[in-house]
């Protein structure tokens, strides 16, 4: 009962009004995650029930496709419910898996269905107005994948944003609006739709996701082959719209250079292996002593995370001053 009451209380109070409320919700989420580490059997039972409940809500929305059904999904309570279970699984099937192996083994079967739900939410309404929601979903998938080591295809979802008509076919509207922080939004405010300031915020977030997704795979033995399709798409995008988005074109060029450097690093290490491709255990241990942030792509992603953390701190400080 304590777990159920704690989770339902968290959901009821997980609406986001501003940047300051994000910190409060994060604190509640962290406390709840700690409680779910006390009893593995009860934790799995509750996690299964509530993850299944989220899946049913998503299925009903996909079938009905009405305005009311979309509202049941596109709200902060639903997103923060996904964030809660993402953090539970990332913590006990990733961060603390070695300390609590039995709990990890119990909860690990929920990673795949949760990832499927998050991807379903991200693609439910693929319009430009809901880019912030998709970006939140992509960050959840990154957290889940990086912690558990289970591959989740984040790059295609991020590149879909870049290849939307907002960047390829429509000219952005100039405006004098202040910069928009996507952290406290699920959809673009009406006055920001199609504006350059909004799309710049989207690009900043998408490029950070691209860098993190590449960094997470930059120590994998198949990285040189895995990155080829995405690198081709990114180069094509830069060639097609780079002149309209000069700052981001330069940033993308930097990422592509780090991708090439990381590819060469993996190839150099791969030249020294003495096992066959069929030896999955040995392949999974490839470059196991190297942290992703130590690769060129990982260092680049870490620098972007540092900059964004500073930006968030400044926004929160400005908000508190107001």
pLDDT at 320: 66
User: For the whole model, what pTM was predicted?
Assistant: 0.93
pLDDT at 8: 92
Give the pLDDT confidence of 278-321 residue by residue, as tens digits: 888 888 888 888 888 999 999 999 999 998 888 888 877 776 66
Question: What is the mean pLDDT of the segment spanning 163-192?
Answer: 90
pLDDT, mean over the chain: 92
Give the pLDDT confidence of 200-259 residue by residue, as tens digits: 999 999 999 999 999 999 999 999 999 999 999 999 999 999 889 999 999 999 999 999
pLDDT band at 81 (very low <50, low <70, confident <90, very high): very high
Distance CA 235, CA 253 (A): 8
Write phi, then psi, for 192 (nearest 5 degrees): -95, -15
Query: Cβ distance 206 to 161 under 8 Å?
Result: yes
pLDDT at 278: 83
Residue 39: CB atoms within 10 Å = 14
Residues in CB range of 197: below 8 A, 6 or more apart: 175, 177, 178, 179, 180
pLDDT at 67: 85
State the DSSP code for 91. Answer: I
Query: Dihedral of the CA atoms 120, 121, 126, 127 (nearest 10)?
Result: 170
186: closest CA among 4, 15, 11? 15
Helix (H, G, I), strand (E, B) or coil at 195: strand
Here the contacts of 68-76 (C-beta below 8 Å, separation 24 or greater) are 70/124, 70/125, 73/121, 73/124, 74/124, 74/125, 74/130, 74/133, 74/186, 74/187, 75/15, 75/186, 76/14, 76/15, 76/16, 76/186
pLDDT at 185 over 70: yes
pLDDT at 111: 96
pLDDT at 23 over 90: no
Q: Classify each residue of 59-87 as buried b or exposed e, where b means 16 or more C-beta atoms within 10 Å of its C-beta.
A: eebeeeeeeebeeebbbbebbbbbbbbbb
Sign for the CA dihedral angle at 164, 165, 170, 175 comes to negative
Distance CA 302, CA 279 (A): 31
Most distant CA atoms of the chain, gap in Å = 62
Write phi, then psi, for 195 (nearest 5 degrees): -85, 155
pLDDT band at 51 (very low <50, low <70, confident <90, very high): very high
Distance CA 97, CA 100 (A): 5
pLDDT band at 21 (very low <50, low <70, confident <90, very high): confident
286: closest CA among 300, 265, 302? 265
pLDDT band at 25 (very low <50, low <70, confident <90, very high): very high
Tokens, residue 176:
């004098």
pLDDT at 164: 94
pLDDT at 113 over 90: yes
State the DSSP code for 173. Answer: B
Tokens, residue 265:
């690093």
Sign for the CA dihedral angle at 256, 258, 260, 266 comes to negative
Query: Cβ distance 73 to 89 under 8 Å?
Result: no
Could you tell me the end-to-end alpha-carbon distance of the chain, in angstroms, rounded to an integer? 40
The string of DSSP codes covering 134-160 is: HHHHHHHHHHHHHHH-----HHHHHHH
């Amino acid at each position: 009962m304590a777990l159920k009451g704690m989770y339902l209380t968290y959901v009821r109070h997980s609406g986001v009004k501003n940047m300051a409320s994000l910190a409060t919700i994060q604190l509640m989420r962290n406390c709840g995650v700690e409680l779910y580490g006390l009893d593995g059997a009860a934790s799995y039972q509750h996690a299964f029930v509530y993850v299944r409940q989220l899946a049913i809500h998503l299925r009903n929305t996909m079938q009905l496709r009405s305005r009311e059904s979309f509202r049941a999904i596109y709200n902060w309570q639903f997103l923060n419910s996904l964030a809660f279970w993402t953090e539970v699984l990332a913590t006990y099937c990733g961060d603390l898996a070695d300390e609590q192996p039995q709990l990890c083994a119990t909860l690990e079967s929920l990673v795949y269905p949760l990832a499927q739900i998050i991807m379903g939410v991200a693609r439910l309404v693929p319009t430009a107005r809901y880019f912030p929601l998709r970006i939140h979903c992509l960050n959840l998938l990154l957290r889940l994948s990086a912690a558990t080591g289970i591959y989740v295809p984040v790059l295609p979802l991020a590149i879909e944003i870049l290849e939307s008509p907002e960047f390829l076919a429509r000219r952005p509207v100039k405006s004098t609006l202040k910069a928009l922080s996507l952290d406290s939004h699920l959809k673009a405010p009406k006055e920001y739709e199609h504006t350059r300031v909004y799309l710049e915020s989207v690009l900043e977030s998408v490029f950070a996701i691209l860098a993190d997704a590449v960094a997470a795979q930059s120590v994998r033995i198949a990285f040189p082959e895995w990155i080829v399709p995405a690198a081709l798409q990114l180069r094509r995008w830069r060639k097609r719209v780079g002149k309209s988005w000069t700052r981001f074109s330069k940033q993308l060029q930097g990422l592509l250079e780090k991708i090439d450097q990381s590819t060469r690093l993996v190839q150099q290490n791969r030249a020294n292996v003495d096992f066959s491709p069929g030896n999955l255990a040995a392949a999974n241990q490839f470059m196991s002593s190297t942290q992703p942030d130590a690769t060129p792509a990982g260092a680049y992603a870490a620098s972007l995370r540092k900059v964004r953390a500073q930006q968030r701190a400044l926004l929160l400080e400005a908000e508190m001053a107001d």
